[in-house]
A and B are shown apart, each in its own frame.
Chain A
């Protein structure tokens, strides 16, 4: 159990240079091969880390690194982690940044409290817990920045795969391809509603030919999308209902009676045209009258 107020701050104050030199040396010995520029950057980062570590310890040496006194240190490590993640360092290499500080720190403690075995033991224990906590922080942050990349890519994929197509003056089509989960539904709804506002459309055709599975959840997501569009004054039609889907929907007891459904996008388009007062006439010999 670390002492209420560790003497680590004092040790840092007195032996900063000694710890810093040894630490930088250790990093270079065990880490990956670095270019001169990378080495210089690593040195700078080390010195900066030690500085903020020293400051934080002086303000709060209880061992709790979650408070505001340690915000600077935490931010530094999170920043370092994401930068290294982008630069291609492995999580282990990034965590080593912190863990390799243990040995130099322990020798400094031994040099400082040499004769007092208990003091050395207590302080080493305290330092171990502290550095473990900080090292783990880098792995968490590393993980998170990886997840952020994945999330961003997922988001881009979602947006790319939910295009809204303008079929006619006031008729939109939304060909859905792939699964329809709640995250996707949110994006679909947003895109559709924004398109309705921009194009002032009265009809939206949601085509689900490319949606492989339609279960209760998917049906609910579809109904939500229809309801939202309706609140914006647009009528929705659902097309692409395959025979199996029709059976599934009835068996599930989903109520689609309020929604016009068609087997194909073409059929739905025809209905939408008709409802909006349009008529498509073939131009043979007879004089034409297409829309309106």
Chain B
């Protein structure tokens, strides 16, 4: 998958104010990408979930916003990373969230449902990195 990064921007997530700022930044990027309103709403909402997770469960972290290209299509990729406690069982968290409708799991599974592509890496004791992508 030869994804090329066209532009990148990073933001720190250290307080709940930052979650709002992340939403606004993602909104701006998705408008510049030319996404329709529903797709914009989906990617901003997914980002809000993950930013909140980063803050609440990851002890704070960083969001990387990238406009990307893959051949002839363009997209918006947002990666959230933290050096927090990590998630012991990612699959469980993803299914849990769906069934209990609560907390971190809902944010993760929700963000996955709202995005075209979803990648997660997590190691207990090292941290977590979640990446979502929406193609135009």
A contact residues vs B (CB 8 Å cutoff): 66, 78, 140-141, 144, 186, 190
Contact = CB atoms under 8 A, between A and B. Distances in A.
A186 B38 contact: yes
A190 B72 contact: no
Contacts of B73: 144
Which 8 pairs from chain A and chain B are nearest by CB? A144-B72, A140-B71, A140-B72, A66-B4, A141-B72, A190-B38, A186-B38, A78-B72
Interface residues on B, range: under 10
Contacts of A144: 71-73
Question: Chain A binding site: helix, strand, loop or mixed by DSSP?
Answer: helix
Contacts, number: 11
Interface string B1-40: 0101000000000000000000000000000000000100
A190 B36 CA distance: 12
Given A144-B72, A186-B38, A190-B38, 8 more contacts: A66-B2, A66-B4, A78-B72, A140-B71, A140-B72, A141-B72, A144-B71, A144-B73
Interface of B: 2, 4, 38, 71-73
A141 B71 CA distance: 9
Nearest to B2: A66
A62 to B, nearest CB: 16
Contacts of B71: 140, 144
Contacts of A78: 72
11 contacts: A66-B2, A66-B4, A78-B72, A140-B71, A140-B72, A141-B72, A144-B71, A144-B72, A144-B73, A186-B38, A190-B38
A116 to B, nearest CB: 35
A91 B73 CA distance: 20
Contacts of B4: 66
A78 B2 CA distance: 18
A144 B70 CA distance: 12
